[in-house]
Chains A and B, each alone.
Chain A
C-alpha cells in the first residue's frame, strides 16, 4: 500500500459546519437538475474565488476524495491522482466507485508535485484540488490553463471533511443542491447504522495506527476517522481525549499503551508491516483490556484503510458495509 503516512495523517482539521462554505445557493436561485449545473458558478476558496462559466466537460483533479465526489455527481474525471498503485491497474479509481467511470479511462498521475504538462495534455475545462496540498504557485499556473478550485479556506492540507468537500466540488460543477442531497443521504445511512446498533452509543472506542517505535498513533476527535466512529455513536475515553493539545494526532509510546485500557473496543489499522507486527507483538499491547477480551477490529484491507481516511459520499456506504458488522461482533 502506498500513501501510508498520508493515509495515516490525512483527515484531521476542524469539522466546520457546512454553512461555513457559503450558503448562497446557485445564482438566481435556479435549481440544478441532476447532471446539469447552473452557470456561471462562483466558488470561494483559500486563494480567492473561481468563476466557472460553462458546464465543464473535461474535469482534471488532483484531490484524493475529489475523484469519488465527482463520480457521485455524475462526472467522470479525465485525470486523477495515483492514490494506490493497485487501483491504477484497475482504471485509477476506488473499487467502490469503479463502475461509475462508465467505461472511460482517466489519466492517472503521481501526485507528489503537479505534473503540469500531463494536466495540459488532457485539455481540461475545470481543475479541482480540494483534498490536495495545493500551493499558491500551482494554483496560479493551473488557473492559466482552466478554472481551478482549491480547498476552502480554514483547513490545513488534507483536512477538508468529506461533507464540506462534497459541497465545494459540487459548487464547481454548479450543483451545490445535488451535492447537499448526497451529503444528507450519506449522513442518514450512518445515522441508520447507529440506530440499528444501540451498543455503539454505550461504548468507548479508539482507532489506533501502529507507529514506528512500537507504539501507536491516535487521531483527534475532529479527524475524519474518529468522526466516523463518533457518528456511529462511539465516544472517546476522556484520558485519550486530553492527549491532543490542539494537534490532530498524538502518539502513545509502547510503555504507555495501558492508557488504552479505558476503551471497550479498539479499531486497529493493520496495513503497514513491520510496524503492525512490532506494536501488536509488544507485551504492553497484549495486556491492553480490549486486546485481552478480543475486542479488536483489525483493518487489514488497504482499500478500507484508504476509505477511512479519504472519506467521501461514495466511500461511506462501503465503510459501513465493511466495518459495522465487525464492530457489532466485537461488542457482542
Chain B
C-alpha cells in the first residue's frame, strides 16, 4: 500500500476532476462557476434543471456502470488468472445483447427493469458456455483459449442478433442504438433501478478480495483451502453476472473498460486483490466518464457514444498487452 499511496491520491483527484467535468460540460454551454453554484443552490432556472435533472443523473450512472465494469473485469482476471479477461471479450455482453433482443422481439419488452433480468440470464449462460469451452481438455483455461472461446461465442451470438433484427425492424431500430453503449438519454428512474444490483455486486466482489488472493497464489496451493475455492468461484461468477448484466442492461455493451482498468490498478497497488478490486471501482469511472466527456465534446452539436470512445481507447491497450507479453505467458 505504501508504494501506491501517492498514486491513490492521483486516482482520487482524477475521479473528482472527471466528475466535475461530467457535470460541467455539455451541449449547452454553462460557465463552470455557475454550474458549481447551481449544484449547491438550484435557482429554478433551466440551467439548474439541466445540471440537476440531466447531468448529475448521467454522471451517477457513469459512476455506477464504470465501477461495475471495472470490478467485474478485475474479478474475471483474478478468477481465471487471465490478463485478457473482459466482459466484452468473454461473450458476456453478446450474451446479454442476444437475450435482450430476443425478449424485445418475442415479447415486445421495452421496460429497462425487465431488460435487466434478461441481460442477467444471457450474461450468465454465455459466460458458462465460454468458460466450459475454454476449460475443455487437460491444460485448463489458458488466457488465449478463453479469449478465443469468447470470440467464437460472441460471433455466433452477434450473427443471431443480426438475423433477428433483420426479421424484426423495430428491434433493429432499438438495437442499433443500444448496441453502442451510451450514458445519455436514459430516464431519471434508471439509476434507482440498477443501483441495488450494482451495489450488491460491488459489496460481494470486494468481500471476495481475501479468498481471491489465495487463488492468486496458484491453483495447487489454493486447492488446500478446499471448499472455499469452489465457493469463491461461484460467488465470483454471481458477482460478475450481476455487475455485467446490470451495466449492460442499463446502458448497452461497453467493452475494454473491464480489461484495461484492473491492469492500471495492479500497476499501482501490486497484486493484492483486496486493494485491486476497490481501486478498480475508482479508476473505471474515470475512464468511462472521461470517455463520455470526450464524446460530448468531439462531435458537437451531436454526441459520440461512450461505448465507441471506450472501444477506440481501450482496444490499443489490449493490443499493447498482447504485444508486450511473451506468448508463453499468454
* A residues lining the B interface (CB < 8 Å): 1-5, 112, 211-215, 251, 253-256, 258, 272-275, 277-278, 281-284, 287
Q: Is the CB of B177 within 8 A of A212?
A: yes
Contacts of A255 in B (CB 8 A): 26-28, 50, 54
CB distance from B243 to the nearest CB of A (A): 23
Q: Is the CB of A283 within 8 A of B27?
A: no
Q: 9 additional contacts, CB 8 Å, given A255-B26, A255-B54? A: A2-B170, A3-B169, A4-B169, A112-B166, A213-B182, A253-B301, A254-B50, A254-B184, A283-B53
Q: Is the CB of A214 within 8 A of B170?
A: no
B186 within 8 A of A: yes
Closest to B167 in A: A110
Chain B interface residue number, banded = 20 to 34
Given A112-B166, A284-B46, A287-B49, A213 and B303 contact (CB-CB distance below 8 Å) = yes
The B249-273 residues at the A interface (CB cut-off 8 A) are: none
Q: Is the CB of B54 within 8 A of A254?
A: yes
Closest to B55 in A: A255
Q: List 7 A-B contacts (CB under 8 A).
A: A2-B169, A112-B169, A213-B182, A213-B303, A214-B186, A282-B53, A283-B52
Q: Is the CB of B27 within 8 A of A253?
A: yes
B140 within 8 A of A: no
Q: Is the CB of B184 within 8 A of A287?
A: no
The B275-319 residues at the A interface (CB cut-off 8 A) are: 301-303
B188 within 8 A of A: yes
B163 within 8 A of A: no
The B205-241 residues at the A interface (CB cut-off 8 A) are: none
Contacts of A258 in B (CB 8 A): 28, 46
B187 within 8 A of A: yes
Q: Is the CB of B54 within 8 A of A211?
A: no
CB distance from B191 to the nearest CB of A (A): 13
Question: How far is it, in angstroms, between the C-alpha of A138 and the C-alpha of B185 when the chains are bound?
Answer: 38
The B166-214 residues at the A interface (CB cut-off 8 A) are: 166, 169-170, 173, 177, 182, 184-188
Contacts of A212 in B (CB 8 A): 177, 182, 185
Contacts of B143 in A (CB 8 A): none
Closest to A210 in B: B185
Contacts of B54 in A (CB 8 A): 214, 254-255, 282-284
- Pick the contact of B187: A211, A215, A251, A274 (CB < 8 A): A274
Q: Is the CB of B173 within 8 A of A4?
A: yes
10 cross-chain pairs, A with B, having the tightest CB-CB distances, nearest first = A213-B185, A283-B53, A283-B49, A253-B27, A255-B28, A214-B185, A255-B27, A212-B177, A213-B184, A4-B173
Interface centre among A4, A213, A254, A255, by most B CB within 10 Å? Answer: A255
Question: How far is it, in angstroms, between the C-alpha of A274 and the C-alpha of B185 when the chains are bound?
Answer: 10
Closest to B303 in A: A213
Given A253-B27, A256-B28, A281-B188, A287 and B182 contact (CB-CB distance below 8 Å) = no
Q: Is the CB of A274 within 8 A of B170?
A: no
Contacts of A253 in B (CB 8 A): 26-28, 301-303
Q: Is the CB of B53 within 8 A of A284?
A: yes
Contacts of B26 in A (CB 8 A): 253, 255
Chain B 27-44, CB within 8 Å of chain A: the 1/0 string? Answer: 110000000000000000
Question: How far is it, in angstroms, between the C-alpha of A5 and the C-alpha of B169 when the chains are bound?
Answer: 9
Question: How far is it, in angstroms, between the C-alpha of A246 and the C-alpha of B199 when the chains are bound?
Answer: 47
- Pick the contact of B46: A112, A213, A287 (CB < 8 A): A287
CB distance from A73 to the nearest CB of B (A): 29
Interface centre among B50, B186, B302, B303, by most A CB within 10 Å? Answer: B50
